[in-house]
Amino acid sequence: MSTPSEPHHLSDLPSPALIVDLPGLDANLRAMDALLPGTRLRPHVKAFKTTALAARLAADGHTGFCAATPREVEGLVSAGLGEDILLANESLDVARLGALRDSANITVAVDSEATIDAAARGNVESVLIDVEVGLPRCGCDVADAGRLADLARSRGLNVRGVMGYEGHLMMVDDRQERADRVGEAMAQLLAAAEAVGGDIVSGGGTGTFDTNTWCTEIQAGSYTLMDTHYDGLDLPFAPACFIHATVISVSAKGWIVIDAGLKSLGMDHGDPSWGHGDVFFCSDEHTTLVPTDGSTWRVGDTTTITPAHIDPTVAKHQTMWVTNGASVVDRWDVDLRHW
């Protein structure tokens, strides 16, 4: 039995398919490198979940990575990208990372006695004290950071510094307001850093990558592929990741239906966008679109939609198809999925 040949053209792809526009990706990487070269950026792999892109970033000098799940850390190590990995998330499932201690440099975020105990029992070598700086999620109180650092050191852990994520400020529209409020959040983090010690002050993200001038490293990841949520800000990046879909129905009432829906899109930031009209609604396997000119669309036509939130969109797919125009030039396994 012969095996199917690799697709060489967009028309060869099964749909729905996750596609990455290579020129757009390259432009985003250049824009980031111009402002945060080398280890000033700690790329967050949760946004793109593929070691193929991580390897590209490492080759560009970004050799330290940020991860959200133990699986992402394990995948990076397996791909030979374990020079400096931060699990920027609390986890009690860290013994699996301690087992990699001899082959990688892994640091985990901690914000409590329980997570410190888990790191010590799990043979993890290094930690950052995670500090809450305004986002109601993980992180200890600023006033407790020094005590937790002392506790971690007493348990034999290397305390490398602090991290604090100002995620609640990523989408502040006005640039000056964004910068001012980031400064207020980082003042809290720097106070914690003084009590904790260490060399690292880690934080930031795509939305604040250039207004956060206080952290020693910025944890941005979405900038690589972008989405419509971030595209509304004054950032030097543009969407480079799309869902390739096929028109499967055309209604005389003016709408068309494509074969990509909720099961291929992250929807927590709203509907995807479409450059040829409006998105009517999304259902499990379908998205109903209202074209500007309905007379031009036929069953079998293909089109692309742009996701509103890139991270959960990527996590729904097994493969990224890398394209240059209508040509398929590579395929990247989304090998950092799951936990």
Q: For 157-196, how does the pLDDT look when each residue is reduced to its tens digit (9 = 90+)?
A: 999 999 999 999 999 999 999 999 999 999 999 999 999 9
What integer pLDDT is reported at residue 294 of this predicted model?
87
The predicted model gives 233-243 an average pLDDT of 98
Q: pLDDT-derived band of residue 103, with 50, 70 and 90 as boundaries? A: very high
Give the residue from 140, 158, 138, 137 showing the smallest Cα distance to 148. 140
- Whether 125 has a pLDDT exceeding 90, the answer reads yes
The residues of the chain that CATH labels 3.20.20.10 are 23-224
H/E stretch holding 237 reads: none
What integer pLDDT is reported at residue 6 of this predicted model?
85
- Whether 2 has a pLDDT exceeding 50, the answer reads no
Cβ atoms of 150 and 133 closer than 8 Å: no
Task: Give per-residue pLDDT as tens, 271-315.
Answer: 999 999 999 999 999 999 999 998 999 999 999 999 999 999 999
Burial class (CB in 10 A: 0-12, 13-18, 19+), 271: middle
| CATH, domain 23-224, list 2.60.40.3080, 3.40.50.720, 1.25.40.10, 3.20.20.10 | 3.20.20.10
What integer pLDDT is reported at residue 1 of this predicted model?
38
Give the residue from 202, 198, 168 showing the smallest Cα distance to 182. 168
Task: Give per-residue pLDDT as tens, 135-153.
Answer: 999 999 999 999 999 999 9
The share of the chain scoring above pLDDT 90, in percent, equals: 98
Mean pLDDT taken over the chain: 97
What is the SS3 assignment for 159? strand
Task: Give per-residue pLDDT as tens, 43-56.
Answer: 999 999 999 999 99
Cβ atoms of 182 and 211 closer than 8 Å: yes
Burial class (CB in 10 A: 0-12, 13-18, 19+), 325: exposed
What would the DSSP string read from start to end of 279-333?
A: EEEE-SS-EEEEESSGGG--TT-EEEEB-S-HHHHHHT-SEEEEEETTEEEEEEE
CA dist 157 to 73, 95, 114, 122, Å? 19, 14, 14, 11
What integer pLDDT is reported at residue 313 of this predicted model?
98
- pTM of this structure: 0.95
What would the DSSP string read from start to end of 25-94?
A: HHHHHHHHHHHS-GGGB--BGGGT--HHHHHHHHHTT--EEEESSHHHHHHHHHTT--SEEEE-S--S--
Burial class (CB in 10 A: 0-12, 13-18, 19+), 334: buried
Judge: domain 10-16+237-333, CATH 2.30.110.20: no
What integer pLDDT is reported at residue 299 of this predicted model?
98
Give the integer Cα–Cα distance in Å for 93 and 89.
Answer: 11
* Phi–psi pair at 133, nearest 5 degrees: -120, 25
Give the integer Cα–Cα distance in Å for 292 and 304.
Answer: 15
Give the residue from 10, 22, 18, 17 showing the smallest Cα distance to 224. 22
Residue type, 61: G
The residues of the chain that CATH labels 2.40.37.20 are 10-16+237-333
Q: Round the CA-based radius of gyration of the chain to a whole number and report it.
A: 22
The predicted model gives 87-108 an average pLDDT of 97
- Whether 131 has a pLDDT exceeding 90, the answer reads yes
The predicted model gives 206-223 an average pLDDT of 98
- Whether 3 has a pLDDT exceeding 80, the answer reads no
- Whether 4 has a pLDDT exceeding 80, the answer reads no
Cβ neighbours for 256, distance < 8 A, ≥ 6 positions apart? 247, 249, 250, 288, 289, 290, 291, 294, 297
Please name the residue that has the structure tokens 């390739």.
244
The predicted model gives 104-117 an average pLDDT of 98
CA dist 200 to 38, 64, 112, 160, Å? 15, 12, 19, 6
Give the integer Cα–Cα distance in Å for 134 and 164.
Answer: 9
- Whether 325 has a pLDDT exceeding 80, the answer reads yes
Cβ neighbours for 154, distance < 8 A, ≥ 6 positions apart? none
What is the SS3 assignment for 117? helix
